[in-house]
Chains A and B, each alone.
Chain A
Amino acid sequence: GNSVTQMEGPVTLSEEAFLTINCTYTATGYPSLFWYVQYPGEGLQLLLKATKADDKGSNKGFEATYRKETTSFHLEKGSVQVSDSAVYFCALSGGGATNKLIFGTGTLLAVQP
């Protein structure tokens, strides 16, 4: 079945460092891919999305490219800030009538000043 695997955290970085959070997936067909972010004490927010191979989703300085050949959707940011500290979830759509999302287990990012 469909599944998402993302790197375990926590990831601890200094401010202005480069961020990569790895995400790979297993899916039949052509799922849409998503990154969600959860700030402390809050629900999940959609950060970015990509619907087909080679699409690049971007938002708030974060980027991820839908790579079908490597079944990956890695999240990157060139210069992180303390305010980026949060849990990041990779997800894929199951597609079809049920419209379910499959989530990874989440990666905690801690950015230190």
Chain B
Amino acid sequence: DVKVTQSSRYLVKRTGEKVFLECVQDMDHENMFWYRQDPGLGLRLIYFSYDVKMKEKGDIPEGYSVSREKKERFSLILESASTNQTSMYLCASSSSSGGLWAQYFGPGTRLTVL
């Protein structure tokens, strides 16, 4: 089974702090994604990566950056956390082969910014 793990299930940070959310997948997937999930808004794509050191902006990249130094690891960085970044953050990965485009998700990190 595909396994996607995220470094923390719950995280509480202060406004202005730099925050790192880590995601690791064990299926050698080329593609990795970061979403945030908010009530009434569904999932919104922040950034994605289709190869090591490659990244592309999603629909809401402002206030975030990402890093992908190794194929299995994709990090989301909040340079200076703000209260409007309080949310559930979901990481996902997928393979580029097979044409199915199914994504596999981690359990999520619920981030609270005070």
Please give the residue numbers on chain A whose beta carbons come within 8 Å of chain B beta carbons, in ascending order. 32, 34, 36, 42-46, 49, 51, 89, 93-95, 97-101, 103-106
Distance of A104 Cα from B103 Cα, bound (Å): 15
Q: Are B99 and A43 in contact (CB under 8 A)?
A: no
Distance of A100 Cα from B101 Cα, bound (Å): 8
SS class of chain A's interface: helix, strand, loop or mixed? loop
Q: Are B90 and A44 in contact (CB under 8 A)?
A: yes
Q: Are B41 and A95 in contact (CB under 8 A)?
A: no
Distance of A89 Cα from B103 Cα, bound (Å): 13
Distance of A94 Cα from B108 Cα, bound (Å): 23
Q: Are B48 and A100 in contact (CB under 8 A)?
A: yes
Distance of A51 Cα from B105 Cα, bound (Å): 20
B contact residues around A103 at 8 Å (CB): 42-43
Given contacts A89-B43, A99-B96, contact A42 B107 (CB under 8 A): yes
Q: Are A43 and B106 in contact (CB under 8 A)?
A: yes
Q: Which residue of B lies closest to A103 (CB)?
A: B43
B contact residues around A36 at 8 Å (CB): 105
Q: Are A46 and B43 in contact (CB under 8 A)?
A: no
Q: Which of B31, B40, B41, B90 contacts A99 (CB 8 A)?
A: B31
Q: Does B102 contact A (CB under 8 A)?
A: yes
Q: Does B94 contact A (CB under 8 A)?
A: yes
